[in-house]
Structure 1
Amino acid sequence: MKPSPDDPEAWNAYLAEGNAKQARKRVSADVVLRDAAGQILLVNPTYKPDWDLPGGMAEENEPPEETVRRELGEELGLEVVPCGLLVVDWVAPHGPWDDQIAFVFDGGTINEERLDPQDGELSEACFVPPDTALTLVGERMRRRLRAALRAIDQDRPQYLRDGGPAW
Structure 2
Amino acid sequence: MINEMHDIAKNVQAQQVDASSAITPSYKEHLPPLCPPSDASPPARQKVWRFTDNNPVIAHDFLSYRALKRQVLPGTDACRASSCSVFTAPCELSKLPKLREKFVAELNIDEKSGLAKKKRKHIDLWMFTSFDPVANTSKVFEKSDLKR
Fold conserved (TM > 0.5)? no
Structure (1/2) with the larger strand percentage: 1
Q: Which has the higher contact order (CA 8 A, sep 6+)?
A: 2
TM-score w.r.t. length of structure 2 = 0.31
